[in-house]
Amino acid sequence: MKAQDTLLLFVAGLLIWIFGTWYYGVRGAAILETTSTRYWSAFVLSPILSAAMCIAILRWRHIPPAQWASAMLLLAIPGMVGEAVVLSHFGTFMPRLHAASGGRYGAFLFATYAAVLGIAELVTLRA
């Protein structure tokens, strides 16, 4: 992977995290504090859409499958670090959400990062 790709993936991950955090800060109540059906539908859909977006970024940059695990980590790490800060200060960063929604939000994050990184690891192992 080129140095340019390393920087671009890290910055892309940071921008995706900023947008995602902003989106859940604004629209989170409609997803996390809603009916069970809406919550679980979003819970399933979020990792799928996130994985599709990340795979599209790796394909756009022509990252070889043997390097997908490390490339996906570059996309994920800014968000993982950022979300640790958000979750530890949930009321400050997500004032429109009830504190009890922090667990649901954390579950969304865990499922999404697990799916994205798991897919990348499988692709890398099969390369």
Band (pLDDT 50/70/90 cuts) for residue 1 is confident
**CA separation, residue 38 to residues 24, 43, 44, 83 (Å):** 15, 8, 10, 23
Ramachandran category for residue 35: left, alpha or beta (phi over 0 → left; psi -120 to 50 → alpha): beta
User: Each residue of 8-60: pLDDT tens digit?
Assistant: 999 999 999 999 999 999 999 999 998 999 999 999 999 999 999 999 999 99
Taking the CA atoms of 123, 41, 89 and 53 in sequence, report the sign of the dihedral they define. Answer: positive
Which residue in 123, 16, 8 sits closest to 80, CA to CA? 16
In this prediction the pTM is 0.87
Report d(CA 109, CA 43) in Å as an integer: 9
